[in-house]
Structures are given as structure tokens and as C-alpha cells.
Amino acid sequence: MKIIADMHCHTIASTHAYSTIEEMVNEASKKGLYAIGITDHGKAMPGAPGKWYFENMGLVVPDVLNKVRVIKGIEANIIDYEGNLDTNGEILNRVEWVIASMHEVTLKPSFDIEACTNAWLNVAKNPYVNVIGHSGAAEFEFDYEKVIPEFGHGGKLVEINNKSFKARSEGIKNCKKIANLCKKHSVHIILNSDSHFSSQVGVVDEAINLLKEIEFPEELIININKERFSKYLTEAGIKI
């Protein structure tokens, strides 16, 4: 199993990452990827780029660079338990790809399953959001059985995030629960590196191992098949 697109990648614009867009794209090209998503953080994250960064990307960054489709996106931060994002419609209308995520630094953990469930149910209805980012974190546990089907109904891709195996290892058991429920309810998932340095682009080995362990059906993984991934992009109104 191998991904053909890595759709969660950060550049030096996020200031806690260490490679440029061009360095990330060149690494994607070297690894034979069809596409890469440049998804720097929304404004609530310390050190995040300003709105002009996102508004200007589509005008400045080529759609194709070194034979890789460069998809301009954002990792928007969920900032409250109503599921609101730190990113307004002006930016969301300009980018091509939106990941919605919870982070301790941008949302104080409540350790309240009901509150987190409410937030994610509202995110599931947000028409701008493509991807549910690294949602297995222990401090943001929610009612997986209730919410996962709603992600599917809302057309969201549930991310299995390779970085979680190091940065959020206490939540891996939750990631497994989430993956099993995606399997049960036929919800599509996406494997991403969440890379913050160019050498990490396309590296999702630990995420793949988790899926193999639970015998996850490959037909539900959106970014291991170019035809399947391109179909998703087309249906989402994203140029292929």
C-alpha cells in the first residue's frame, strides 16, 4: 500500500515547520506523488501566517510544479465547542482544501465527551471542510459511534495521521477505534504525513500498519488510488 497524494503538509510559513513549499513539492516529486496539499495553520495557531498568505497562494503558487499537483489549503483550527473555525469565508473561498483540527494551544481541552461530540457534529455540517484532522487525541475524545457516520454523511474524509504516532501517541487507541468505525460505516479516510520537514513528505508507514492490523478495506482509502482521488477532487470542485 502506497499513497499517491499527501494532503497535510506544513511549510516555514507556519514557523514551527522547516521547509519551503518548493522543497516540500520537490520531495513529493522525488517520491513519485501525484499531489501534495500545502496546509499551513490558521491564524489561531501561534506563529501562523496571515490572511494574505492564503489569499495570495492561488495567484502565485503554480498548480503544477515539478510534475506534482500543488493543492493550496489550510489547516483551520477549531476554536470552540460549537465547532467554529479560526478562518473566515473570505479565506475558505480562496483555498482549495480545508482540514479542520483541534489543538491544545488553540482550544482549551474540556475532557468533556459531550462538548467535543457537539463540536465535531457541527464541523461535519461545514461545507468548506474536506478533512477531519487527527481526531484521536485523548484530550478531545468524543462519541465516535455517533459522530463517525455523520462525517460520512457530510462527505468528510477522516484522517489517519502518521505524526500522531509520535506527537499524540496516547491517542493511538482512539485512532484505531475511529478507523474501525470508518470501516463499519463505510466512511472514506485519508492517510497523511502531517509533515513539518521535507523528508517526512509521503511517510505514512505507521498509519498503514494500523490499517493492516484491523484489515481496513483499501477501497475506503481515498489517496492510495489516483482514479479514486481524482474523482473526489472533481466532485469537490477542485481542479485535477
pTM over 0.85: yes
- Residue 136 has a CB neighbour count (10 Å cut-off) of 24
- pLDDT tens readout for residues 129-142: 999 999 999 999 99
- pLDDT tens readout for residues 24-65: 999 999 999 999 999 999 999 999 999 999 999 999 999 999
- pLDDT tens readout for residues 84-96: 999 988 999 999 9
- pLDDT tens readout for residues 132-180: 999 999 999 999 999 999 999 999 999 999 999 987 677 799 999 999 9
- The residues pairing with 112 across neighbouring beta strands, listed in sequence order, are none
CB 22 within 8 A of CB 9: no
Whole-number CA gyration radius for the chain: 16
pLDDT tops 90 at residue 2: yes
Residue 133: predicted pLDDT = 98
C-alpha cell at 224: 492510495
What rounded mean pLDDT belongs to the chain?
A: 96
Residue 168: predicted pLDDT = 67
